[in-house]
């Protein structure tokens, strides 16, 4: 398990590597551009080469890129879909250039429209973005289920993958906060087992390629996406210990997005997660 952190690339793409090293991360996640602006950051080959060089010299073994929040591949507005396509394609191409494990994408929102039609629109945009890039995988993230967001269930994730053509480059990123908020009780070994068995039936665990580790300020089934620092929410220390000791996550990047220092992740947060993983493994063995 590659326990890691979302870090900033401010000041240079390669600087995100050192920020990950500083907190003891084994994996990192970055935005390849401002998360609330459409304009992409104009990285060049020198930026990519420096990033790859620094990464190879570090203990970090996996890099994720998070697509910007503005992207809505399911929008019924042609202009928003076109901007989403351009942004997602850019993220995938940056992923190609730096050897990223994958780009994590919130699949989109139907708003108040028909979910099936929204899934079809999202699938078309995702397929186009994959065709316009080369290698980088795309990980569709499950959502908390607020409003018309897509991906609130494994059935919807499966439908999105099918609508996008079922490429081998398509995978999943499961978020612990979102799972709880959308009604999957993952706080016990039995509950997590049942959840992953359903995921396997509906989508296939062979498509599970990354994990977001977030506690939740919102309760089970609330459909509210509200992250909390590790151990300070509804999952709690015990629930996170279960999640971090799950054998089916063993080879995956497990990235924290919210930490204890004004939401920034610290070395203490990282150490806590390793302690909880050890505790969970001991409890499973006992």
- Kindly give the confidence (pLDDT) of every residue in the chain, 286 residues in length, as a single tens digit, with 9 standing for 90 and above: 999 999 999 999 999 999 999 999 999 999 998 888 898 888 999 999 999 999 999 999 999 999 999 999 999 999 999 999 999 999 999 999 999 999 999 999 988 778 899 999 999 999 999 999 999 999 999 999 887 899 999 999 999 999 999 999 999 999 999 999 999 999 999 999 999 999 999 999 999 999 999 999 999 999 988 999 999 999 999 999 999 999 999 999 999 999 999 889 999 999 999 999 999 999 999 7
How far apart, in whole angstroms, are the C-alpha atoms of residue 172 and residue 151?
10
**DSSP-derived secondary structure letter, 281:** H
The C-alpha atoms of residue 74 and residue 114 are separated, in whole angstroms, by 10
- What pLDDT, on a 0 to 100 scale, did the predictor assign at position 110? 86
pLDDT score recorded for residue 198: 97
**String of DSSP letters for 69-99:** TT--TT-S-HHHHHHHHHHHHHHHHHHHHHT
- Sorted by where each begins, the domain ranges of the chain are 2-285
Does residue 98 come out as left (phi exceeding 0), alpha (psi in the -120 to 50 range) or beta? Answer: alpha
The structure tokens listed for 134 are: 């080369």
Residues in the chain: 286
Check: CATH 3.40.50.20 for 2-285?
no
Rounded to 10 degrees, the C-alpha dihedral 67/70/72/78 comes to: -130
């Amino acid at each position: 398990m590659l326990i890691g952190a979302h870090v900033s690339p401010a000041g240079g793409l390669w600087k995100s590597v050192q920020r990950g090293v500083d907190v003891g991360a084994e994996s990192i996640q970055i935005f390849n551009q401002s998360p609330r602006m459409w304009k992409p950051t104009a990285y060049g080959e020198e930026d990519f080469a420096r990033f790859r060089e620094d990464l190879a010299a570090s203990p970090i073994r996996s890099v994720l890129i998070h697509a910007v929040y503005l992207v809505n591949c399911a929008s019924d507005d042609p202009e928003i879909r076109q901007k989403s396509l351009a942004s997602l394609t850019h993220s995938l191409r940056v992923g190609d250039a730096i050897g990223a494990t994958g780009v994590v994408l919130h699949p989109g929102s139907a708003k108040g429209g028909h979910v099936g039609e929204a899934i079809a629109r999202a699938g078309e945009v995702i397929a186009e973005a994959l065709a316009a890039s080369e290698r980088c995988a795309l990980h569709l993230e499950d959502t908390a289920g607020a409003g018309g967001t897509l991906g609130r269930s494994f059935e919807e994730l499966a439908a999105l993958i099918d609508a996008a053509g079922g490429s081998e480059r398509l995978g999943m990123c499961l978020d612990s906060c979102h799972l709880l908020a959308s009604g999957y009780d993952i706080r016990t070994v039995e509950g997590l087992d049942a959840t992953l068995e359903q995921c396997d039936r509906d989508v296939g665990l062979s498509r599970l390629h990354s994990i977001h580790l977030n506690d939740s300020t919102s309760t089970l089934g609330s459909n509210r996406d509200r992250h909390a620092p590790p151990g300070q929410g509804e999952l709690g220390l015990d629930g996170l210990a279960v999640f971090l000791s799950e054998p089916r996550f063993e080879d995956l990047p497990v990235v924290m997005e919210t930490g204890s220092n004004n939401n920034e992740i610290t070395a203490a947060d990282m150490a806590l997660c390793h302690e909880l993983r050890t505790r969970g493994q001991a409890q499973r063995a006992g």
